[in-house]
Structure 1
């Protein structure tokens, strides 16, 4: 697995949008919680005050922390079906089998078309 990282040092919260959960508390206060960081919260008497305190809390946290972006390369998984790929390429009956499948598909399609026409005719008479 390959990992590449990019480090960004910030002294204020990056200009971005955040999802915030606003909850009225039993004691009448309001709690704002940053959903991406549930332990980053602000408590206030109003929603605006709670959000302001949350913003201050996030900015304070980012003064001593850093945001790292990781790009993780997905592991290369061998497809288990690949061992069967091309196994009939030299089989002289392969083309004949494909023709059989195509003919069978045409017959089934014709049967279904006839069935749907009958259903349409029955629905028109009702």
Structure 2
């Protein structure tokens, strides 16, 4: 079986770039400073005397990083997978007892419904 992965990269022109939002972890340090760390990029952080200062430094650090880099959207197509139920679909189509089995299932369901209604 061959695994083929389809990969496409979308690069949008930088004419009207949308604003990006990031999740930031704010943590007080033992030396009474505050560290702001960008979640997903632990090496991108800002340190300050206040939360606001730490976030501002983190923002500056990220802006500097993005000046020499770009963000692209990566789409990877999932590999095709076979539905496991298809292997047994139609297995009993020619079985002479199949119709009787379906009737028994229907009768059992009716009995369950009646018992549930009596409760």
Larger Rg: 1
Pairwise CA distance, 1:14: 5.7
Root-mean-square deviation (CA, aligned residues, Å) is 2.0
Q: Give 1:84 deviation, angstroms.
A: 0.7
Q: Displacement of 1:24 after TM fit?
A: 1.0
TM-score between both structures, scaled by the size of structure 2: 0.82
CA distance in 1, matches of 2:96, 2:24: 65
TM-aligned CA distance change 1:22 to 1:14, over 3 Å: farther
Tell me what 2:75 maps to.
71
Deviations 1:17-46 (A, max 9, x none): 211111111111111111121111000111
Counterpart-to-counterpart distance in 1, 2:62 and 2:48: 15
For this pair of structures, how many residues does the alignment match?
A: 113
**2:19 aligns with one of 12, 15, 19:** 15
Pairing 1:80–2:84 present: yes
TM-score, structure 1 normalization: 0.78
Give 1:55 deviation, angstroms.
0.4
Q: Which runs of 5+ in 1 are unaligned?
A: 117-126
Counterpart-to-counterpart distance in 1, 2:13 and 2:50: 32
* Larger helix percent: 1
Residue 119 of structure 1 is matched in structure 2 by none
Give the structure 1 partner of residue 7 of structure 2.
3
